[in-house]
Amino acid sequence: MKIKKGDITELHIEKYAFEGKGIAKVSKNELLGINEEDGNEKNYVVFVHGTYPGDVVKARLTKIKKSYAEAIAVEILSPSSDRTKAKCKYFGLCGGCKQQDLSYPKQLEYKQKQVGEIFNKLGGFIDFSTEPILPSDNVFFYRNKMEFSFSDKRWLTKKEISSNDKLSKDFALGLHIPKIYDKVLDIDECLLQSDLSNQILNFTRKFFLEKNISVYSTKTHTGFLRNLVIRQSFYNNYLMVNLVTSDEDEILLKEFANNLIEKFPAVTTVVNNISKKLSSVAVGDYEKVIYGSGFIYDKIGDYNFRISANSFFQTNTKQAEKLYQTTVDFAEFNGNETVYDLYSGAGTIAIFISQKVRKVFAFESVQSAVEDAKVNAQLNNISNVDFIIADLYKSFLPLVEKNNLPKPDVIIVDPPRSGMHKNTVDDVIALAPEKIVYVSCNPTTQVRDIKLMAEAGYKLVKIKPVDMFPHTYHIENVAFLKK
Protein backbone atom coordinates (compact mmCIF):
# COMPACT_ATOMS: atom_id res chain seq x y z
CA MET A 1 0.00 0.00 0.00
CA LYS A 2 1.48 3.31 -1.03
CA ILE A 3 1.08 6.21 1.41
CA LYS A 4 -0.23 9.44 -0.02
CA LYS A 5 -0.77 13.01 0.96
CA GLY A 6 -3.80 13.31 3.24
CA ASP A 7 -3.38 9.90 4.88
CA ILE A 8 -3.66 9.79 8.69
CA THR A 9 -1.18 7.74 10.69
CA GLU A 10 -0.29 7.28 14.38
CA LEU A 11 3.10 8.68 15.40
CA HIS A 12 5.22 8.89 18.57
CA ILE A 13 7.12 12.18 18.81
CA GLU A 14 10.71 11.74 19.93
CA LYS A 15 12.53 15.03 19.26
CA TYR A 16 11.87 18.69 18.56
CA ALA A 17 13.25 20.49 15.50
CA PHE A 18 14.13 24.13 14.90
CA GLU A 19 11.12 26.24 13.87
CA GLY A 20 8.70 24.28 16.00
CA LYS A 21 8.16 20.83 14.54
CA GLY A 22 8.04 17.56 16.43
CA ILE A 23 10.05 14.68 14.98
CA ALA A 24 8.87 11.10 14.68
CA LYS A 25 11.22 8.39 13.41
CA VAL A 26 9.48 5.43 11.85
CA SER A 27 10.34 2.47 9.70
CA LYS A 28 9.68 3.39 6.10
CA ASN A 29 8.49 -0.16 5.46
CA GLU A 30 6.13 0.11 8.43
CA LEU A 31 4.76 3.40 7.12
CA LEU A 32 4.33 1.85 3.68
CA GLY A 33 2.62 -1.17 5.23
CA ILE A 34 5.01 -3.78 3.83
CA ASN A 35 6.89 -6.61 5.53
CA GLU A 36 10.53 -6.12 6.37
CA GLU A 37 11.60 -9.00 4.13
CA ASP A 38 9.97 -7.27 1.15
CA GLY A 39 12.58 -4.57 1.09
CA ASN A 40 15.49 -2.94 2.90
CA GLU A 41 14.43 -1.55 6.27
CA LYS A 42 15.01 2.24 6.44
CA ASN A 43 14.38 4.89 9.04
CA TYR A 44 12.07 7.63 7.89
CA VAL A 45 11.68 11.05 9.53
CA VAL A 46 8.30 12.72 9.83
CA PHE A 47 8.17 16.38 10.90
CA VAL A 48 4.86 16.97 12.68
CA HIS A 49 3.55 20.50 13.21
CA GLY A 50 1.88 21.17 16.56
CA THR A 51 3.61 18.41 18.52
CA TYR A 52 6.23 17.99 21.26
CA PRO A 53 8.48 15.13 22.40
CA GLY A 54 6.43 12.63 24.38
CA ASP A 55 3.24 13.17 22.36
CA VAL A 56 1.49 10.24 20.72
CA VAL A 57 -0.67 11.65 17.92
CA LYS A 58 -2.74 10.96 14.89
CA ALA A 59 -1.28 13.07 12.12
CA ARG A 60 -2.32 13.91 8.57
CA LEU A 61 0.50 13.70 6.03
CA THR A 62 0.90 17.00 4.15
CA LYS A 63 4.13 16.38 2.23
CA ILE A 64 5.89 13.16 1.24
CA LYS A 65 9.51 13.15 0.08
CA LYS A 66 12.06 10.41 -0.48
CA SER A 67 13.84 10.85 2.87
CA TYR A 68 11.25 12.63 5.01
CA ALA A 69 7.61 13.59 5.31
CA GLU A 70 5.69 16.44 6.92
CA ALA A 71 2.42 16.14 8.78
CA ILE A 72 0.06 18.06 11.02
CA ALA A 73 -1.41 16.69 14.24
CA VAL A 74 -5.17 16.13 14.05
CA GLU A 75 -5.60 14.36 17.41
CA ILE A 76 -3.46 14.10 20.55
CA LEU A 77 -3.83 10.49 21.72
CA SER A 78 -1.44 10.86 24.65
CA PRO A 79 -0.06 14.33 25.51
CA SER A 80 3.54 15.07 26.46
CA SER A 81 4.06 15.86 30.15
CA ASP A 82 5.67 19.12 28.99
CA ARG A 83 2.40 20.47 27.61
CA THR A 84 0.53 23.25 29.40
CA LYS A 85 -2.75 25.04 28.78
CA ALA A 86 -2.37 28.00 26.44
CA LYS A 87 -3.67 31.26 27.94
CA CYS A 88 -4.72 32.92 24.69
CA LYS A 89 -8.17 32.11 23.35
CA TYR A 90 -6.87 32.50 19.78
CA PHE A 91 -4.05 30.01 20.25
CA GLY A 92 -3.74 27.71 17.26
CA LEU A 93 -5.48 30.13 14.91
CA CYS A 94 -3.30 33.22 14.58
CA GLY A 95 0.28 33.07 13.32
CA GLY A 96 2.06 33.88 16.60
CA CYS A 97 2.81 32.16 19.92
CA LYS A 98 2.96 28.66 18.45
CA GLN A 99 4.67 27.30 21.57
CA GLN A 100 2.28 28.78 24.12
CA ASP A 101 1.06 25.27 25.05
CA LEU A 102 4.63 24.22 25.96
CA SER A 103 5.95 25.02 29.45
CA TYR A 104 8.38 27.95 29.40
CA PRO A 105 11.32 26.02 30.95
CA LYS A 106 10.95 23.45 28.15
CA GLN A 107 10.78 26.19 25.51
CA LEU A 108 14.16 27.41 26.78
CA GLU A 109 15.61 23.90 26.91
CA TYR A 110 14.63 23.13 23.32
CA LYS A 111 15.85 26.49 22.02
CA GLN A 112 19.24 25.92 23.66
CA LYS A 113 19.47 22.42 22.16
CA GLN A 114 18.38 23.58 18.71
CA VAL A 115 21.01 26.33 18.51
CA GLY A 116 23.69 23.84 19.57
CA GLU A 117 22.54 21.32 16.96
CA ILE A 118 22.54 23.95 14.22
CA PHE A 119 26.18 24.79 14.98
CA ASN A 120 27.14 21.09 15.30
CA LYS A 121 25.27 19.67 12.30
CA LEU A 122 25.00 22.57 9.83
CA GLY A 123 28.27 24.22 10.75
CA GLY A 124 30.34 21.22 11.72
CA PHE A 125 31.57 23.09 14.81
CA ILE A 126 32.58 20.99 17.82
CA ASP A 127 35.27 22.75 19.82
CA PHE A 128 33.34 25.71 21.23
CA SER A 129 31.38 26.42 24.40
CA THR A 130 27.66 27.12 24.70
CA GLU A 131 26.64 29.38 27.57
CA PRO A 132 23.20 28.91 29.20
CA ILE A 133 20.31 30.60 27.42
CA LEU A 134 19.10 33.91 28.88
CA PRO A 135 15.36 33.65 29.69
CA SER A 136 12.96 36.56 29.29
CA ASP A 137 11.82 38.11 32.58
CA ASN A 138 8.38 38.65 31.06
CA VAL A 139 6.79 35.80 29.10
CA PHE A 140 3.58 37.75 28.39
CA PHE A 141 3.06 41.47 27.68
CA TYR A 142 6.72 41.82 26.69
CA ARG A 143 6.38 43.50 23.29
CA ASN A 144 6.78 47.26 22.86
CA LYS A 145 5.33 47.09 19.33
CA MET A 146 2.31 45.30 17.86
CA GLU A 147 1.33 45.42 14.21
CA PHE A 148 -2.31 44.63 13.39
CA SER A 149 -3.78 44.27 9.89
CA PHE A 150 -7.08 45.37 8.43
CA SER A 151 -8.66 43.02 5.90
CA ASP A 152 -11.79 42.86 3.78
CA LYS A 153 -11.69 39.07 4.26
CA ARG A 154 -12.38 38.04 7.83
CA TRP A 155 -11.38 34.55 8.91
CA LEU A 156 -14.32 33.02 10.73
CA THR A 157 -13.66 30.53 13.52
CA LYS A 158 -15.74 27.36 13.86
CA LYS A 159 -17.48 28.95 16.85
CA GLU A 160 -18.34 32.07 14.83
CA ILE A 161 -19.62 30.02 11.89
CA SER A 162 -21.96 28.02 14.12
CA SER A 163 -23.23 31.05 16.06
CA ASN A 164 -26.28 33.13 15.17
CA ASP A 165 -24.39 36.39 15.67
CA LYS A 166 -24.40 38.89 12.84
CA LEU A 167 -20.75 39.30 11.83
CA SER A 168 -18.99 41.70 9.47
CA LYS A 169 -17.34 39.26 7.07
CA ASP A 170 -15.80 42.03 4.99
CA PHE A 171 -14.10 43.87 7.89
CA ALA A 172 -11.44 42.50 10.20
CA LEU A 173 -8.73 44.03 12.38
CA GLY A 174 -6.30 41.61 13.94
CA LEU A 175 -3.60 39.12 13.00
CA HIS A 176 -2.99 37.03 9.92
CA ILE A 177 -3.83 33.37 9.60
CA PRO A 178 -0.63 31.36 8.89
CA LYS A 179 0.11 30.87 5.17
CA ILE A 180 -3.06 32.75 4.16
CA TYR A 181 -1.92 36.22 3.16
CA ASP A 182 -5.32 37.81 2.51
CA LYS A 183 -7.38 36.67 5.53
CA VAL A 184 -7.21 38.15 9.01
CA LEU A 185 -8.42 36.80 12.33
CA ASP A 186 -10.48 39.51 14.04
CA ILE A 187 -9.21 39.60 17.63
CA ASP A 188 -10.13 41.61 20.71
CA GLU A 189 -6.97 40.88 22.71
CA CYS A 190 -3.37 39.81 22.34
CA LEU A 191 -1.34 38.79 25.39
CA LEU A 192 1.97 40.02 23.98
CA GLN A 193 1.48 43.76 24.49
CA SER A 194 -0.32 45.68 27.25
CA ASP A 195 -4.01 45.65 28.08
CA LEU A 196 -4.10 49.30 27.00
CA SER A 197 -2.94 48.19 23.55
CA ASN A 198 -5.92 45.81 23.38
CA GLN A 199 -8.30 48.61 24.36
CA ILE A 200 -6.90 50.83 21.58
CA LEU A 201 -7.25 47.95 19.11
CA ASN A 202 -10.94 47.52 19.95
CA PHE A 203 -11.62 51.27 19.97
CA THR A 204 -10.06 51.60 16.48
CA ARG A 205 -12.17 48.77 15.08
CA LYS A 206 -15.39 50.24 16.48
CA PHE A 207 -14.59 53.77 15.29
CA PHE A 208 -14.01 52.81 11.65
CA LEU A 209 -16.75 50.19 11.51
CA GLU A 210 -19.33 52.72 12.63
CA LYS A 211 -18.14 55.13 9.95
CA ASN A 212 -18.23 52.40 7.30
CA ILE A 213 -14.66 53.17 6.19
CA SER A 214 -13.35 50.89 3.47
CA VAL A 215 -10.58 48.35 4.02
CA TYR A 216 -7.68 47.89 1.62
CA SER A 217 -8.01 44.81 -0.58
CA THR A 218 -4.84 42.92 -1.54
CA LYS A 219 -6.71 41.65 -4.61
CA THR A 220 -8.16 44.86 -6.08
CA HIS A 221 -5.69 47.24 -4.37
CA THR A 222 -8.51 49.57 -3.40
CA GLY A 223 -9.75 50.62 0.03
CA PHE A 224 -8.44 52.94 2.75
CA LEU A 225 -7.45 51.14 5.99
CA ARG A 226 -4.29 49.00 5.94
CA ASN A 227 -2.61 48.62 9.36
CA LEU A 228 -2.74 49.69 12.97
CA VAL A 229 0.66 49.81 14.68
CA ILE A 230 0.94 50.49 18.41
CA ARG A 231 4.34 51.35 19.91
CA GLN A 232 4.67 51.67 23.65
CA SER A 233 7.67 52.63 25.81
CA PHE A 234 8.67 50.09 28.43
CA TYR A 235 10.54 52.44 30.75
CA ASN A 236 8.84 55.76 29.89
CA ASN A 237 5.24 56.93 29.55
CA TYR A 238 5.09 57.25 25.77
CA LEU A 239 2.58 55.60 23.44
CA MET A 240 2.29 55.95 19.67
CA VAL A 241 -0.67 54.98 17.52
CA ASN A 242 0.26 54.71 13.86
CA LEU A 243 -2.52 54.20 11.32
CA VAL A 244 -1.32 53.00 7.92
CA THR A 245 -3.68 53.95 5.09
CA SER A 246 -3.62 53.91 1.31
CA ASP A 247 -4.34 57.61 1.00
CA GLU A 248 -4.70 60.85 2.97
CA ASP A 249 -7.87 61.94 4.76
CA GLU A 250 -6.88 64.69 7.16
CA ILE A 251 -10.38 65.36 8.49
CA LEU A 252 -11.06 61.69 9.27
CA LEU A 253 -7.66 61.13 10.87
CA LYS A 254 -7.99 64.22 13.07
CA GLU A 255 -11.42 63.05 14.22
CA PHE A 256 -9.97 59.62 14.98
CA ALA A 257 -7.04 61.16 16.91
CA ASN A 258 -9.29 63.51 18.93
CA ASN A 259 -11.62 60.68 19.93
CA LEU A 260 -8.70 58.39 20.68
CA ILE A 261 -6.91 60.89 22.94
CA GLU A 262 -10.13 61.74 24.75
CA LYS A 263 -10.68 58.06 25.49
CA PHE A 264 -7.02 57.23 26.16
CA PRO A 265 -5.03 60.21 27.53
CA ALA A 266 -1.94 57.96 27.74
CA VAL A 267 -1.56 58.24 23.95
CA THR A 268 1.24 60.76 23.37
CA THR A 269 1.37 60.83 19.58
CA VAL A 270 -0.73 59.77 16.58
CA VAL A 271 0.88 59.21 13.18
CA ASN A 272 -0.57 58.46 9.75
CA ASN A 273 1.67 56.50 7.36
CA ILE A 274 0.43 56.65 3.77
CA SER A 275 1.42 53.60 1.73
CA LYS A 276 0.95 53.29 -2.02
CA LYS A 277 2.73 49.92 -2.05
CA LEU A 278 0.96 46.85 -3.39
CA SER A 279 2.69 44.66 -0.80
CA SER A 280 1.28 44.31 2.72
CA VAL A 281 4.14 46.00 4.55
CA ALA A 282 3.12 48.34 7.38
CA VAL A 283 5.55 51.07 6.32
CA GLY A 284 4.37 54.16 4.50
CA ASP A 285 5.92 55.94 1.56
CA TYR A 286 5.58 59.05 3.69
CA GLU A 287 3.94 60.01 6.97
CA LYS A 288 1.96 62.80 8.56
CA VAL A 289 1.98 63.54 12.27
CA ILE A 290 -1.62 64.04 13.43
CA TYR A 291 -0.96 64.63 17.11
CA GLY A 292 2.11 65.04 19.31
CA SER A 293 5.76 64.86 18.25
CA GLY A 294 5.61 61.80 16.00
CA PHE A 295 8.10 60.00 18.27
CA ILE A 296 8.27 58.00 21.47
CA TYR A 297 11.30 57.57 23.74
CA ASP A 298 12.59 54.49 25.54
CA LYS A 299 15.72 53.22 27.26
CA ILE A 300 18.14 50.35 26.87
CA GLY A 301 20.47 50.29 29.85
CA ASP A 302 21.49 53.85 30.70
CA TYR A 303 20.77 55.19 27.21
CA ASN A 304 17.72 56.96 25.78
CA PHE A 305 16.45 56.37 22.27
CA ARG A 306 14.04 58.27 20.07
CA ILE A 307 11.78 55.93 18.12
CA SER A 308 9.87 57.02 15.05
CA ALA A 309 6.96 55.14 13.47
CA ASN A 310 9.24 53.14 11.17
CA SER A 311 12.40 52.91 13.30
CA PHE A 312 13.82 49.49 14.06
CA PHE A 313 13.95 48.99 17.82
CA GLN A 314 14.21 45.64 19.61
CA THR A 315 10.61 44.66 20.44
CA ASN A 316 11.47 43.17 23.84
CA THR A 317 13.03 46.22 25.50
CA LYS A 318 14.05 44.58 28.77
CA GLN A 319 15.60 41.59 27.02
CA ALA A 320 17.46 43.85 24.58
CA GLU A 321 19.61 45.07 27.46
CA LYS A 322 20.62 41.46 28.21
CA LEU A 323 21.37 40.88 24.52
CA TYR A 324 23.59 43.95 24.28
CA GLN A 325 25.31 43.22 27.59
CA THR A 326 26.16 39.75 26.27
CA THR A 327 27.72 41.46 23.24
CA VAL A 328 29.83 43.62 25.56
CA ASP A 329 30.82 40.65 27.73
CA PHE A 330 31.88 38.59 24.71
CA ALA A 331 33.94 41.42 23.19
CA GLU A 332 35.93 41.94 26.44
CA PHE A 333 36.69 45.58 25.64
CA ASN A 334 39.75 47.20 27.25
CA GLY A 335 38.72 50.78 26.37
CA ASN A 336 41.21 51.40 23.55
CA GLU A 337 39.44 49.62 20.69
CA THR A 338 38.27 50.87 17.35
CA VAL A 339 35.00 49.06 16.67
CA TYR A 340 32.97 48.64 13.47
CA ASP A 341 29.24 48.08 14.03
CA LEU A 342 27.61 46.66 10.88
CA TYR A 343 23.84 46.85 10.28
CA SER A 344 23.76 49.46 13.03
CA GLY A 345 20.11 50.53 12.54
CA ALA A 346 19.12 53.34 14.89
CA GLY A 347 22.48 53.09 16.64
CA THR A 348 21.39 51.09 19.67
CA ILE A 349 24.41 48.76 19.89
CA ALA A 350 26.90 51.45 18.87
CA ILE A 351 25.62 53.79 21.58
CA PHE A 352 25.37 51.00 24.17
CA ILE A 353 29.08 50.13 23.76
CA SER A 354 30.34 53.68 23.14
CA GLN A 355 31.63 54.41 26.66
CA LYS A 356 33.55 51.13 26.76
CA VAL A 357 35.69 51.71 23.64
CA ARG A 358 37.75 54.45 22.02
CA LYS A 359 35.85 54.86 18.74
CA VAL A 360 32.87 53.29 16.94
CA PHE A 361 32.15 53.45 13.20
CA ALA A 362 28.54 52.37 12.63
CA PHE A 363 27.54 51.27 9.11
CA GLU A 364 23.90 51.11 7.98
CA SER A 365 22.15 50.80 4.59
CA VAL A 366 18.96 52.74 5.43
CA GLN A 367 19.28 56.52 5.39
CA SER A 368 16.37 57.16 7.79
CA ALA A 369 17.93 54.77 10.33
CA VAL A 370 21.22 56.68 10.13
CA GLU A 371 19.36 59.94 10.81
CA ASP A 372 17.64 58.33 13.83
CA ALA A 373 21.02 57.10 15.06
CA LYS A 374 22.55 60.58 14.89
CA VAL A 375 19.66 61.98 16.94
CA ASN A 376 20.08 59.19 19.49
CA ALA A 377 23.79 59.94 19.84
CA GLN A 378 22.96 63.60 20.54
CA LEU A 379 20.32 62.58 23.08
CA ASN A 380 22.97 60.70 25.03
CA ASN A 381 25.83 63.19 24.50
CA ILE A 382 27.83 60.56 22.62
CA SER A 383 30.67 62.00 20.53
CA ASN A 384 32.84 58.97 19.70
CA VAL A 385 30.48 57.29 17.22
CA ASP A 386 30.41 58.06 13.50
CA PHE A 387 27.33 56.89 11.60
CA ILE A 388 27.96 56.03 7.97
CA ILE A 389 25.52 55.18 5.18
CA ALA A 390 26.86 52.08 3.40
CA ASP A 391 25.44 49.45 1.08
CA LEU A 392 26.06 46.23 3.01
CA TYR A 393 24.75 44.18 0.11
CA LYS A 394 27.69 45.11 -2.10
CA SER A 395 31.03 45.93 -0.54
CA PHE A 396 31.67 48.58 2.11
CA LEU A 397 35.47 48.17 2.04
CA PRO A 398 35.97 50.83 -0.71
CA LEU A 399 34.14 53.27 1.60
CA VAL A 400 36.55 52.43 4.42
CA GLU A 401 39.55 52.97 2.14
CA LYS A 402 38.17 56.13 0.55
CA ASN A 403 37.63 57.76 3.96
CA ASN A 404 40.93 56.41 5.29
CA LEU A 405 39.19 54.90 8.33
CA PRO A 406 41.34 53.14 10.90
CA LYS A 407 41.23 49.33 10.83
CA PRO A 408 38.94 47.80 13.45
CA ASP A 409 40.07 45.79 16.46
CA VAL A 410 36.54 44.41 16.87
CA ILE A 411 33.67 44.06 14.39
CA ILE A 412 30.10 43.61 15.63
CA VAL A 413 27.49 42.44 13.13
CA ASP A 414 23.72 42.27 13.68
CA PRO A 415 22.20 41.54 10.26
CA PRO A 416 18.57 40.79 9.32
CA ARG A 417 17.20 37.22 9.26
CA SER A 418 18.73 36.60 5.83
CA GLY A 419 22.19 37.04 7.34
CA MET A 420 25.19 38.77 5.79
CA HIS A 421 25.82 39.15 2.08
CA LYS A 422 28.91 37.19 1.04
CA ASN A 423 30.56 40.43 -0.11
CA THR A 424 30.17 41.83 3.40
CA VAL A 425 31.58 38.63 4.91
CA ASP A 426 34.56 38.96 2.55
CA ASP A 427 35.04 42.59 3.65
CA VAL A 428 35.03 41.60 7.32
CA ILE A 429 37.63 38.91 6.65
CA ALA A 430 39.77 41.34 4.64
CA LEU A 431 39.70 43.88 7.49
CA ALA A 432 41.09 41.13 9.76
CA PRO A 433 39.82 42.31 13.16
CA GLU A 434 41.14 40.43 16.19
CA LYS A 435 37.57 39.74 17.38
CA ILE A 436 34.14 39.36 15.78
CA VAL A 437 30.87 39.37 17.71
CA TYR A 438 27.96 38.14 15.59
CA VAL A 439 24.43 38.88 16.87
CA SER A 440 21.69 37.06 14.96
CA CYS A 441 17.95 36.43 15.01
CA ASN A 442 18.42 33.40 12.73
CA PRO A 443 21.06 30.83 13.79
CA THR A 444 20.88 29.00 10.44
CA THR A 445 22.09 31.99 8.42
CA GLN A 446 24.44 32.93 11.25
CA VAL A 447 26.22 29.57 11.12
CA ARG A 448 26.45 29.79 7.31
CA ASP A 449 28.34 33.09 7.60
CA ILE A 450 30.50 31.93 10.51
CA LYS A 451 31.61 28.88 8.49
CA LEU A 452 33.06 31.27 5.90
CA MET A 453 34.87 33.20 8.64
CA ALA A 454 36.19 29.95 10.15
CA GLU A 455 37.54 28.88 6.75
CA ALA A 456 39.41 32.20 6.65
CA GLY A 457 41.17 31.60 9.97
CA TYR A 458 38.72 32.59 12.68
CA LYS A 459 37.89 30.30 15.60
CA LEU A 460 34.40 30.07 17.03
CA VAL A 461 35.00 30.43 20.77
CA LYS A 462 31.50 30.49 22.28
CA ILE A 463 27.82 31.17 21.72
CA LYS A 464 24.97 32.31 23.96
CA PRO A 465 21.26 32.14 23.03
CA VAL A 466 18.98 34.91 24.27
CA ASP A 467 15.22 34.37 24.33
CA MET A 468 13.70 37.58 23.01
CA PHE A 469 10.37 36.03 21.95
CA PRO A 470 8.76 33.63 24.46
CA HIS A 471 6.11 31.25 23.06
CA THR A 472 7.61 31.45 19.56
CA TYR A 473 10.36 29.36 17.97
CA HIS A 474 12.41 32.50 17.23
CA ILE A 475 15.70 32.81 19.08
CA GLU A 476 18.53 35.37 19.16
CA ASN A 477 22.07 34.08 19.42
CA VAL A 478 25.37 35.81 20.13
CA ALA A 479 28.56 34.24 18.80
CA PHE A 480 32.17 35.19 19.56
CA LEU A 481 35.01 34.56 17.11
CA LYS A 482 38.70 35.20 17.55
CA LYS A 483 41.44 35.37 14.95
Same structural domain, 277 and 361? no
195 and 233 together in one domain: yes
Round to whole Å and give the CA distance between 454 and 429.
10
Domain membership flag for residue 246 = yes
Reference 406, options 304, 333, 338, 471; nearest CA is 338
The H or E element containing residue 431 is helix 422-431
The mean per-residue pLDDT over the stretch 121-137 comes to 96
Same domain for 150 and 124? Answer: no
Are 321 and 386 part of one and the same domain? yes
Return the exposure string of 405-428: e unless at least 16 CB atoms fall within 10 Å of the residue's CB, then b: beebbbbbbbbeeebbbeebbebb
- Separation CA 95–CA 93 (nearest Å): 7
428: helix, coil or strand?
helix
pLDDT digits (tens, 9 = 90+) for 91-120: 988 878 999 999 999 999 999 999 999 999
Verify that 40 and 173 share a domain, yes or no: no
Same domain, 438 and 393: yes
In a domain, 97, yes or no: no
Establish if 214 belongs to a structural domain: yes
Summarize pLDDT for 164-210 with one digit per residue, the tens: 777 778 899 999 988 777 789 999 999 999 999 999 999 999 999 99
User: Does the CA dihedral 305-308-312-318 come out positive or negative?
Assistant: positive
CATH number at residue 235: 2.40.50.1070
- Is 104 known as a binding-site position? no
Residue of higher predicted confidence among 433 and 282 = 433
Last residue of a domain, one of 42, 67, 82: 82
Assess whether 245 and 339 both reside in one domain.
Answer: no
Final residue of a domain: which of 300, 329, 359?
A: 300
- Note whether residue 266 is domain-resident: yes
Residue 28 pLDDT: 66
The CA distance from 288 to 244, in Å, is 10
Q: What is the DSSP string of 281-331?
A: -S--SEEEEEES-SEEEEEETTEEEEEETT----SSHHHHHHHHHHHHHHH
pLDDT of 477 strictly over 90? yes
Spatial separation of the C-alpha atoms in residues 377 and 301, rounded to whole Å: 14
The pLDDT tens digits of the residues spanning 16-58 come to 987 788 999 887 666 655 555 544 556 789 999 989 999 999 9
* pLDDT of the residue at 291: 98
Is 314 annotated in a binding site? The answer is: yes
The confidence score (pLDDT) of residue 41 equals: 52
- The closest alpha carbon to 337, from 407, 284, 395, belongs to 407
364 assigned ligand-binding residue:
yes
Q: What is the pLDDT of residues 382-421, one digit of tens each?
A: 999 999 999 998 899 999 999 999 999 999 999 999 999 9
Residues 383 and 358 in one domain: yes
**What is the domain range of residue 277?**
145-300
Sheet architecture: strand order including 459-466: 129-130, 459-466, 476-482, 435-440, 410-413, 338-342, 359-364, 385-389
More confident residue, 158 or 97: 97
The verdict on 349 and 435 lying in the same domain is yes
The answer on 472 and 346 residing in a single domain is: yes
Residues annotated as catalytic are 441
What CATH number should be reported for the domain holding residue 14? 2.40.50.140
Q: Report the number of distinct structural domains present in the chain.
A: 3
* 100 belongs to a structural domain: no
Same domain? 214 vs 188: yes
